[in-house]
Amino acid sequence: MSQVAESSHAPTSTGIDHKKLIMWLFLASDCMFFGTLISTHLIYRKLYPTGFTDAEGHQHFVQRLFDIELTSFSTFILLMSSFLMALAVSAMHKGQIKSFRRNVLGVIIFGLIFLGCQVYEFTHFYHMGLTIQNSVFGSTFYVLTGTHGTHVAIGVLWLILLYFYSFTGKLGGHVGALDVEVAGLYWHFVDIVWIIIFTVVYLIEYLGPNGFWGTGLPIAK
Amino acid sequence: MSHDTHHAPVASKLDLAPERSDLGLLRPDRSTGLMDWLTTVDHKKIGILYGAFAMFFFLLGGVEALAIRTQLARPDNDFVTARMYNQLFTMHGTTMIFLGVMPLSAAFFNFLIPLQIGARDVAFPRLNAFSLWTFVAGSFVLNASWLFEFGHLAGWFKDFAWYKSLVYTDFAPANGWFSYAPLSGTFGQADAALHAPRFTGVGTDFWIIGLQILGVASLAASFNFICTIVNMRAKGMTMMRLPVFTWMTLITAILIILAFPAITVALIQLMFDRQFGANFFNPSAGGQPILWQHLFWIFGHPEVYILVLPAMGIVSEILPTFSGKSLFGYPIIVFSGAVIGFLGFAVWSHHMFTTGLGAVPTAAFALLTMAIAVPTGVKIFNWLGTIWGGRIRFTPPMVLALGFIWMFMCGGFSGVMHSSAPADSQQQDSYFVIAHFHYVLLGGVLLGLMAGLYFWFPKIFGRMPKASVAYVASGMVILGFNLAFGPMHYLGLAGMPRRTHTYHAGMGWDTWNFVATIGAFILGIGVFLAFANLVWTAFKGEKCSSDPWDGRTLEWSLPSPVPEYNFARSPIISARDAYIEHKHGGHKIGYESDGGEAGVHMPSQSWMPMLASFGFLLIGMGMPMLAMMIPHAGWIVIAGIGILFLGIWLWALEGPGGYMLKTPSGSTSPSPVSATSSTH
């Protein structure tokens, strides 16, 4: 029987496991995916630096819309979730299933906090007058950050399934460690993408006295 | 480990004891007939299914093309309405590219790649089945638009409230295969139901979601094939010993994973514009329709190479075989393919010369476009070098491959003409462009793929297609093709615009349009004849030996049809063109001591990939129905997403399974070469 197990995991030409390789390939593809979305946002931001107009015709500035403290907090939380994910992968490699569960539960909770912050942020922005329909900024902002949020949500769902799967006793050994590592690769990638989004969508709005796009403070409110 | 099977090795999978997956469900491993084909994870069967669907859609796209040509046969014709004409040329282009050429290439990838690299399967067999069924779901969604269109023409929907509220009723896509915004998008402000006014009917929504689903299928297949080629090569099969077809597949797959995300995002944005009132391309809200063009062609130009590189790989296999020589300049051919792939990402704006990019970008894209002719020309010279001094045998695949070189070269020449921006601004949107890309895609790619079909068909089914019919069909295809598309160069330069439903008499276009229509029908009959010959051969054709062409690569060392485990014992390679070296040279193929009575590991069959794909089908049907305001359509989408996740979840939980199959343990060497079958 052990021979059977060996043959289904025959050594690969490169020495890299299939699952790990295919995840790297997926991430390469996802780079282009987020690259396209982020480019769209930046192009329109440059084209329309003055922000957006709400349903009542009031002009809004992005600087005043963002709640940078909240977003910084959720960014920090997501960064820390990556740290816990690394610990979870390491624990799995050492066969410490309990430590794995503890850490992965931490990742799940941190991921949910991030998603909660995003839901709060979206609702808040909506009440401030920013909708997907009333401006190009609304369209690019919600679709970009929403797509990232969907990635986080899928990651959380994946980790929840792995967490419960670990109680069946089937998650273990080389295969189990590989499965967790692959989920970890995905999670770290989603985190890195957020670092980029946080920088080029949020932080640069606060660069210099008038923001990166050269817009000043709100004219009317 | 519960992941792995407890079966003892069996001679046939029909001897397997019933096995339950980790979920407790019976695995469909022992099924035969339809059940077997629906749940198969065998790359050869998946390849055959891809090929069958692709040939069907080729004929469907061909019928659409003939309707277009019938309409244009004489001036002021009214064979179809202008509205139907728009739908016909849009669906013709979309069908040929995404449902004809790409899946036919995928059929070759599937069938050949594991055989050429000495593997027993692809890296992810169930993911491979998922790619197939997701492609089928996407193709169904796209063509379901025709069903709605016919329902509309037949007046079935007259009494429904949702139908009465539709402003535009083109149910099939009608924007051209590139669906330029703002025509495909929205204008004005969205209403309370998040719908902004649109320029076109729900056909565009079918197009958006259909292409999105096809993109998922292509991406999943490409991840799988890169993984397979990089990771599953037999011992001694170094990268520079890979057959050229395998190399071109690798480059194509890399292009797909890097180019498709751009269209994926563009489609998401267009979908948000149309269905949720976003403003990505909405001019009245500041959206820039030009962004669609950029995103589309960042995908669209690499897509051209995604279509043509597999055909180049096929021709690179056929020419050496029938010239009795090894491929001239193998490393240069491989390198040129990689350069074409790389440059393919740097020329997209040559589709947009007339949009006013500015002098510097226009000049840069013109130069890069001219540069891409260099690696392409290198390949053509290498092919000529391969034939040069060879002992040429004329067979149907060889004739088609030589046709490929000629026709593709003609398409390349007019392509170089387009690369000059001032010339292009005259040719833009004229029939000259139609002539150019049909020479590349039909004279080039289709001839290459047909050559491949006739070349590998004896390997796939163990039966030889009738050469006489094949020659007649090839002759009709090449003659009809030139008759149809040659005159379009003239028509284009004489000013005839693309995508126009009809033209007035006295423009000087009458004669050549009529000639083109006659050519198109000869071409259509030729392609049908070629395909009919193949289908007949698959069932009734004359049996042939396992190596009828004196083949050069590993797949010819296997029996025909290839057994489900591919290699009874895994090969050990010591040269490029491993099998011809084995037969006539000093480098014999060695064999590992696996297989035999101990058996080889076979992946278990599964329903789950198809279940997940069924989720995509529901999403794909639900989204356009949502756009049509059909009541409760949203629930179809939600059910689709649910089934998609359920399918993936059960797929993960059922475990890969697998069983052991005994292989013949006698002689391990390939079938002996008889004196008569060799021309050396």
pLDDT, mean of residues B589-600 = 89
Tell me the DSSP string of chain A: -HHHHHHHTPPPSSSS-HHHHHHHHHHHHHHHHHHHHHHHHHHHHHH-TT-EE-TT--EE-HHHH--HHHHHHHHHHHHHHHHHHHHHHHHHHTT-HHHHHHHHHHHHHHHHHHHHHHHHHHHHHHHHT--TTT-HHHHHHHHHHHHHHHHHHHHHHHHHHHHHHGGGT-S-HHHHHHHHHHHHHHHHHHHHHHHHHIIIIIGGGGSTTTTTTT--S-S--
Distance from CA of A210 to the nearest CA of B (A): 23
Q: Is the pLDDT of residue B279 over 60?
A: yes
The CA distances from residue B628 to B61, B160, B183, B290, B330, in Å, are 26, 11, 18, 27, 54
For residue range B239-272, list pLDDT tens digits in order: 999 999 999 999 999 999 999 999 999 999 999 9
pLDDT, mean of residues B460-474 = 97
**Any A CB within 8 A of B49 CB:** no
- Closest residue to A13, CB basis, from B2, B233, B285: B233
For residue range B573-582, list pLDDT tens digits in order: 999 999 999 9
The count of other CB atoms within 10 Å of the CB of residue A70 is 14
Q: Could you write out the three-class secondary structure of B281-344?
A: CCHHHCCCHHHHHHHHHHHHHHHHHHHHHHHHHHHHHHHHHHHCCCCCCHHHHHHHHHHHHHHH
Q: Which residue of A has its CA nearest to B604?
A: A8
> Which residues is B464 bridged to in the sheet?
B542
Q: Is B235 helix (H, G, I), strand (E, B) or coil?
A: strand
- Cβ pair A149, A157 in contact under 8 A: no
**Any A CB within 8 A of B126 CB:** no
* pLDDT interval class at B49 (50, 70, 90): very high
* pLDDT interval class at B319 (50, 70, 90): very high
**Any A CB within 8 A of B660 CB:** yes
ipTM of the complex model: 0.94
Structure tokens at B534: 């193949």
Residue A40: its chain B contacts at CB < 8 A?
A: 265, 269, 280, 291, 295
pLDDT, mean of residues B435-457 = 96
- Cβ pair B451, B314 in contact under 8 A: yes
For residue range B539-572, list pLDDT tens digits in order: 999 999 999 999 999 999 999 999 999 999 999 9
* pLDDT interval class at B530 (50, 70, 90): very high
Tell me the DSSP string of B597-623: GG-EEEPPP-SHHHHHHHHHHHHHHHH
The residues of chain A scoring below 50 in pLDDT are 1-8, 218-221
Residue A145 sits at the vertex; the CA angle it makes with A140 and A146, to the nearest 5 degrees, is 95
* pLDDT interval class at B608 (50, 70, 90): very high
- Cβ pair B653, B22 in contact under 8 A: yes
Residue B675 has what pLDDT?
A: 38
The count of other CB atoms within 10 Å of the CB of residue B93 is 19
- Closest residue to A18, CB basis, from B123, B260, B272: B123
Residue A211 has what pLDDT?
A: 77
For the domain made up of A18-44+68-206, give the CATH fold. Four Helix Bundle (Hemerythrin (Met), subunit A) (1.20.120)
Q: Which residue of A has its CA nearest to B274?
A: A133
Residue A217 has what pLDDT?
A: 56
Return mean pLDDT, chain B.
Answer: 93
For residue range B292-309, list pLDDT tens digits in order: 999 999 999 999 999 999
A16 vs B231: CB contact, 8 Å cut-off?
Answer: yes
Q: Is the pLDDT of residue B3 over 80?
A: no
- Cβ pair A116, A73 in contact under 8 A: no
**Any B CB within 8 A of A202 CB:** no
Confidence (pTM): 0.94
Residue A4 has what pLDDT?
A: 37
For residue range B625-639, list pLDDT tens digits in order: 999 989 999 999 999
Q: Is the pLDDT of residue B357 over 80?
A: yes
Give percent of chain A with pLDDT exceeding 70. Answer: 93
* pLDDT interval class at B193 (50, 70, 90): confident
Q: Is B661 helix (H, G, I), strand (E, B) or coil?
A: strand
Per-domain residue ranges of chain A: 18-44+68-206
For residue range B124-178, list pLDDT tens digits in order: 999 999 999 999 999 999 999 999 999 999 999 999 999 988 888 889 999 999 9
Which of A20, A29, A37 to mutate to probe the B interface, most B CBs <10 Å? A29
B3 vs A5: CB contact, 8 Å cut-off?
Answer: yes
Residue B639 has what pLDDT?
A: 98
Q: Is B267 helix (H, G, I), strand (E, B) or coil?
A: helix
φ, ψ for residue B17, nearest 5 deg:
-70, 150
The CA distances from residue B256 to A35, A210, B262, B349, in Å, are 16, 41, 10, 19
